[in-house]
Structure 1
Amino acid sequence: MKNNIFPCLWFDRTGNEAAQFYTDIFGGKITVDTPVVINFELFGQRMMILNAGPQFEKNASVSFMVLCETPEEVEKYWKPLADGGIVLMELGEYPWSKKYGWVRDKYGVTWQVYLGEKMGEQKIVPTLMYIHGNNGKAMEAMELYTKIFPGSKIGGVLKYGDGVGNETHEVQENVQHAHFEIDGYSFFCMDNSYDHQFDFNEGISIVVMTDDQEETDHLWNSLIAGGGRASMCGWLKDKFGMSWQIVPKKLIELMNDSDPYKSQKVMQAMSGMQKIVITDLEEAYLS
């Protein structure tokens, strides 16, 4: 698995213990452990935590579907995730799965534990919920993302009118559940008409590691087009309000330099940027 695309979770001082919690449950490992940045792997998939303060709270607009192969595996993950958390849908049998539950764990991360088919190598699949002004736009979002990213495709699409666990209050042409890939990384998505008290925010973002400035420019400009908004340090919001971090691999290389003075100069240069410009980072490194 390339791990060039992965989710980033925003925490307020509890990120280190949360990373340990997740790696204990799923059998993963912590690969970077600092006071601010924690990287960990679950089933070979990279995930990132920022211990960045109280500004943003994670919510169920982005949840993580765990694809399990046996009922026992569902139970194994469900019990610790639900302990101290909030159950959103009780663990049980549903039209779409013989064993399924939806839970917000004690750290505010939302999980859907699902008995069903695995998506190739990827066992944990970020699931995007299109609500409020975005309701009905799941298909548009999939079409946009798969157009922007290479190696992308839209997979199965189930609409509310297709008769599987049909919700009478939902628009029949809206997406009940769909799968798409960007650069080989799987996502699920859905429309939802319920008036939830949350929406996409910076609490959960998607990081994309780029190879060069051309790729950085393409992704930045394409994602921000049509109503998106630039933020700082490589962060942006697309037209649907979803947060992305477009990060050149060169930035990580320069920031990991053994000379702390040089890495600090790179950090200072990056902190003043919106879109990250590699030549400006290199100039700061050499100055």
Structure 2
Amino acid sequence: MPTPKNTICLWYDKDAEAAARFYADTFPDSEVTAVHHAPGDYPSGHQGDVLTVEFTVFGLPCLGLNGGPHFQQTEAFSFQIATDDQEETDRYWNAIVGNGGQESACGWCKDKWGVSWQITPRTLTEALTAGGAEAQRAFAAMMEMQKIDVAQIDAARRG
């Protein structure tokens, strides 16, 4: 398979392979496609250590780089996962938070490697793009939540 033109590169301290395998086990259309070992020593590792991991998340090509502790993940980057219902929202949220992750606000959470995720039900996105009073009500409801409650968003949409 040819290398994609555009790949998201995620910097990990040393657990890129564990993270990629978790994503592959958690999300459909996700897999680990290659693991590459360092051909020599480098500032944060040794020859033979896992250096990079090629993987996909929902079909999106990614590269995990075991670059050491020099750079940390921030909310400036996140995966946004569109969900169809509360069951799917709960499944992904609980997988991330329940595996050493951390809850945040407005549908955001972090996995145990510090990568941010937005678990966003489609009904919320639809409400926000509708604009007007519907968007204002849905937005106000969202601002009070950590994990998004689909029923509460739907109720806010209706007024």
Change over 3 Å in CA distance of 1:168–1:185 after alignment to 2: closer
Per-residue CA deviation, residues 140-199 of structure 1 (Å, 9 max, x unaligned), is: 111111000012211121111xx3xx2355234432222101221111011123x52x30
Query: CA 1:255 to 1:189, structure 2 compared with 1: closer, same or farther past 3 Å?
Result: same
Instruction: Identify which of 88, 92, 106 aligns with 1:233.
Output: 106
Q: CA deviation at 1:209?
A: 1.3
Report deviation, 1:277.
1.2
Q: Tell me how far 1:226 sits from its aligned partner.
A: 2.7
Q: How many residues align?
A: 157
Determine if the alignment matches structure 1 residue 118 to structure 2 residue 11.
no
Matched with 2:55 is: 180
Task: Give the structure, 1 or 2, with the largest relative contact order (CA under 8 Å, sep 6 or more).
Answer: 2
Residue pair 1:225, 1:239 contacting (<8 A) in 2 also: no
3-state SS of 1:124 partner: coil
**Counterpart for residue 283 of structure 1:** 155
Q: TM-score if structure 1 supplies the norm length?
A: 0.52
Aligned to 1:85: none
1:130 alignment partner, one of 2, 5, 12: 12
The letter for the 2-side match of 1:156 is A
Gaps of 5+ in 2: none
Equivalent in 17, 20, 29 of residue 142 of structure 1:
20
In structure 2, distance between residues paired with 1:252 and 1:267: 10
Provide TM-score, normalisation by structure 2: 0.90
| 1:243 Cα deviation after fit | 0.7
For residue 167 of structure 1, what is the aligned residue in structure 2? 41
1:79-94 correspondence runs (5 A): none
State the partner residue of 2:123.
250
Which structure features the higher share of helix residues?
Answer: 2
Larger radius of gyration between Structure 1 and Structure 2? 1
| SS of residue paired to 1:158 | strand
Contact 1:174–1:191 (CA<8 Å) still a contact in 2? no
- Report 1:40-51 matches (<5 A): none
Q: 1:173 to 1:167 in 2, by over 3 A?
A: closer
Greater strand share, structure number: 1
Tell me the C-alpha RMSD between the 2 structures.
1.6
Q: Residues 168 and 256 from structure 1, CA distance in 2 versus in 1: closer, same or farther, beyond 3 angstroms?
A: closer
- Kept in 1, the 8 Å contact 2:16–2:52? The answer is no
CA distance in 1, matches of 2:116, 2:29: 21
